[in-house]
Structure 1
């Protein structure tokens, strides 16, 4: 039966079931991706480690590394299956929301490109018994890199599954209270819409997650690039938090100089982290700006507070003017023979009070005009939004009819 012919309640129930399957599928994929990342790092550390007692040289695979790589390969196989299942469920979900034609498949819909890209990223890892190293010229001496290190860095890209699960379980991702609104406005929603909503709702949470992910990813990558050069640079890159520290001070353009990359690959990673840090700093500024914005009730209270403060100043300047005039009149009634200089000194205070009162009245008129203009624009904007929402609902009723 065609999905278009189903009743609205049945379509909503079907969307809800498919979305639940997508969430469970993505959660399992996240677990598999996390297992792959952890075991890939452990296998890389075991592969690079030099053990003189067991006569193991650096960049040589032993039994422990083989077992760890085998676990990564198995988890990768299951991960590819769940990635394919994710796009299969996503296609069903889009058909149920009537955003794509019901006859389209993964190829005709164009989603095969994202499936191929995501599968390629998650498929790259260090399988057992695949070992290759090469030598690259550096500033002072040659440096040996391994294919295992490159594949391990690519495995870290699987961390995007964490972002996907975070957005899927957001309150804005096709929940019951937002699904009807999205359908009325003919908006797909999806990760892009949810990300924008989360940036407006919880900007500092998103910023903290981004900083942690970027620090871990680039910190480990920088450590892996600089570790073979440690005997020349005389910097302790043994611990990953030293790499994360270097990335943090690089992204913030501080640069204390206690840790810095010397290899070409490490410098490339540092430059990339610096550019990404500029983006995160701008995101922090935007987040701070959003957090300082007034809510409608707060904006109304702020405008009323300004009015009250300005009117209080107006009453104060008016009282000062009256007081100055009264003092001048009282003084002149008691002193008839007053020199021009003394009279000018007394009238100076009256002129000053008049000027202050006029300036304050002018500020009040400008403030009232600005506030009335803002309120008028806000009312017009609300009216336009209301009319547009009504037009969307009416057009949907006409289309269904």
Structure 2
């Protein structure tokens, strides 16, 4: 038994050590990925001013002087691209090392066999996809321009602008680092989820984070989305403003403003996409914004729900208010009853109209008292039989699930005990054989 528990403790230590390494690797991958993306966007800003010299208008028609005009790029762009290439190379090495750590982690968790490799475990498929995606960047001395036809004319897209749009997708590295560093994705959380017969991991961590701090998650996601979509929209629309100068896309804030009103489905009409790529980005931003707004409404609903203690307090307050209202109605009924009695004594010969007026006031007060009193009694009555049965069913289900979980734990312990008993029998048999062998050796020595 001690040997079995010591092995579990050792596995737990190994899992925590590997998770710590993955945390560090994810952090450096995020830093290199986002820094390379930022440099690529900055390099595009510098290169855009250089590339505009290769485009001119004649008779209202755009003319592109060809790719030879784009060669070579300025020295500053060359140095920045070299730095981006170095960062991308480091990022690819880190990603490969992360999958090696993930393979070790799955082996320690006993989800994979110790002889499995990246190929046999099929981890090579996401590895190749991630390596190919993160390897996309503009190396030095690669300069090309593409003429794109629009309904109002032609425009020129450079290759570093198009690849810069793809590099914006590296924002997923930030999301992966956040999820992996969450306390809901730890070894302890996985063990608790397993004991409760549910799956832990990334999906559970995302749901738990949305449950624990929904506004922070939604607000952060919305800010990052506005930044990414705004930069992408501004970069694809800016080359076309020379052909159709309807909007000023030189300022990045205009792109973000357009994305904000698009995601909010407001659409003031002061800024809108006119290029094909810009419209695709706007459509994606529109659907993504609808999802985020729905998530915000859901978060508001979840945060406004009462806990059992809060619900109990709310019901107690409402009950006290109802009792106070009944007291007020009872006092009004008594007051109008006394007034009626005094009126009949003082004015026994009063007209029927005045008498009816006083009597009707007393009747109204009495009816109000009875109505509020019946409502209070109805709220104090026991719950309907259907509700009682439903609550009883929930309790029985909870107890049965708990018994089932306990049986699962006891079964695993029993299996380990049987294994230890078998090992003990083997050890006893081996000891008996050693004793017999020892006796034979002693007998031979005596002879």
Q: Taking structure 1 as the reference length, what is the TM-score of the superposition?
A: 0.89
Say if 2:100 is the partner of 1:88: yes
Aligned to 1:139: 151
Alignment partner for residue 345 of structure 2, among 328, 333, 336?
A: 333
Q: Structure 1 residues 197, 137: closer, same or farther in 2, change over 3 A?
A: same
Q: Structure 1 residues 375, 249: closer, same or farther in 2, change over 3 A?
A: farther
Q: Secondary structure at the match of 2:130?
A: helix
Of stretches 245-254 and 108-117 in structure 1, the one that deviates more from structure 2 is 108-117
Aligned to 1:105: 117
Aligned to 2:201: 190
Q: Structure 1 residues 188, 222: closer, same or farther in 2, change over 3 A?
A: same
Say if 2:302 is the partner of 1:290: yes
**What CA RMSD, in Å, does the superposition of the two structures yield over aligned residues?**
3.0
Report how many residues are paired: 398
Q: Secondary structure at the match of 2:295?
A: helix
Q: Deviations over 1:110-129 (max 9, x none)?
A: 43332233222212111222
Deviation at 1:369, TM superposition (A): 5.0
Say if 2:336 is the partner of 1:315: no
Say if 2:210 is the partner of 1:218: no
Q: Deviations over 1:76-119 (max 9, x none)?
A: 22212222222222233233333445554333434333223322
Say if 2:216 is the partner of 1:205: yes
Q: Deviations over 1:221-277 (max 9, x none)?
A: 111111101222242212222211111121112233332222121122112111111
List alignment gaps of at least 5 residues for structure 2: 54-67, 415-447
Aligned to 2:410: 397
Write the mapping of 1:221-370 to structure 2, written as runs, cut at 5 A: 221-231=232-242, 232-368=244-380
Q: Structure 1 residues 383, 90: closer, same or farther in 2, change over 3 A?
A: farther
Work out the CA distance in 2 between the residues paired with 1:5 and 1:157. Answer: 44
Q: Secondary structure at the match of 1:7?
A: helix
Aligned to 2:440: none
Aligned to 1:32: 32
Q: Taking structure 2 as the reference length, what is the TM-score of the superposition?
A: 0.80
The structure number with the bigger radius of gyration is: 2
Q: Deviations over 1:285-309 (max 9, x none)?
A: 1122222222332222111111111
Q: Structure 1 residues 244, 370: closer, same or farther in 2, change over 3 A?
A: farther
Work out the CA distance in 1 between the residues paired with 2:350 and 2:130. Answer: 95
Deviation at 1:397, TM superposition (A): 2.5
Of stretches 43-52 and 228-237 in structure 1, the one that deviates more from structure 2 is 43-52
List alignment gaps of at least 5 residues for structure 1: none
